[in-house]
Amino acid sequence: MSLAWTPAAAVERGTGVVPRQANGRLLAPEIARIVARGELVVAMLGVDNPPFFYEVNGKLAGVEVDLAKAVASELKVTARFDRQARSFNEVVDIVARGEADLGISKLSRTLARAQVVSFSNPYLTLKHALLLNRVKFAELAKKQELPVVIRDFRGSIGVISNSSFADYARRNFPNARIVEFPTWDGLLKAVTRGEIVGAYRDEFEIKRLLQTDPAAPLLLRTVTFSDMEDSLGIAVNISSPTLLAFVNQFLDQHAEKLDVKKVLDAVRLQEPRPGLSAP
């Protein structure tokens, strides 16, 4: 069901804003409908992705959950999370259909997604990275230098289905065999077992693995691309330019600026996950 609420009678003639609220506020229509509803609806992936969003003791937590709640607080409403999406692209689709006000879900700002939603300014920028099975990569490289092999990568690269890196992989590694996996854990197990040569994702996910599984470097090696960035933004419906401007202003003024170190520090506050080095 669409969240759109734009009756012509509600808009003051020639002003572009709704009539004054009971407290005297003037609000743009897209903000007014959120305030009238009393909640900001935020689309978020239904599969946990700590420390960005995850359930603990039946409650939703994470750095992006805190971000969404802070935006809602500035609007003086509560945040309600819609977690029906089973892929990152589905989160974008929910916002595009008007079923949520915002999409906050570790969303990469890609050209494909920008054709259906508007994106805020980035709130976190990460480098692209490859996680390589040492044995399989050595077989592929045949003693060639690393940059030469990576530049013309002809092995198998695993990505998460319906994710930004599925698109990035086809663009950046046109000669590779791209293999899609429904989950990150399944992808990690495949590269650890040598079923594929490498896994392609952002530097945070690669560094988190090395941080939480001390045995991983024995089986895997990493490559971080200094010239390829993955910027995360908040998705907004294309019919809500004032809401987009509000979100950008919020991000400019928000005191808590995220970077990869802060997000990795948030991982350390969670319970350790099982190692992924075992077959």
Amino acid at 89: N
Residues 147 and 188 in one domain: yes
pLDDT in tens, 186-214: 999 999 999 999 999 999 999 999 988 98
Q: Are residues 119 and 144 in the same domain?
A: no
Instruction: Mark whether 115 and 252 lie in a shared domain.
Output: yes
- Residue 24 included in any domain: yes
Phi and psi, residue 196, nearest 5°: -135, 160
Range of the domain at 13: 8-123+233-268
Q: Is position 116 within any domain?
A: yes
Per-residue confidence (pLDDT) for residue 19, from 0 to 100: 60
Residue 164 lies in a domain: yes
**DSSP-derived secondary structure for the chain:** -------GGGSPTTTSSPPP-TTS----HHHHHHHHHTEEEEE--SS-BTTTBEEETTEEESHHHHHHHHHHHHTTSEEEEE---SSHHHHHHHHHTTS-SEE-SS-B--TTGGGTSEEPPPSEEEEEEEEEEHHHHHHHHTT--HHHHHHT--SEEEEETTSHHHHHHHHH-TTSEEEEESSHHHHHHHHHHTSSSEEEEEHHHHHHHHHH-TTHHHHEEEEEEEEEEEEE--EE-TT-HHHHHHHHHHHHH-S----HHHHHHHHHTSPPPPPS---
Give the per-residue pLDDT at 127.
97
* Prediction pTM value: 0.85
- 231-278 pLDDT, tens digit per residue, is 999 999 999 999 999 999 999 998 788 999 999 999 887 654 444 433
In a domain, 279, yes or no: no
The number of distinct structural domains making up the chain is 2
Residue 272's contacts (CB-CB under 8 Å, 6 or more residues apart) are: 212
Q: What is the pLDDT of residues 59-107, one digit of tens each?
A: 999 999 999 999 999 999 999 999 999 999 999 999 999 999 999 999 9
Q: Quick one: 130 and 119 in the same domain? A: no
In terms of Cα–Cα distance, which of 17, 49, 93 is closest to 205? 49
Question: For the domain that residue 205 is a member of, what is the CATH number?
Answer: 3.40.190.10
Same domain, 81 and 182: no
Q: pLDDT of 15-29, one tens digit each?
A: 565 666 667 778 888
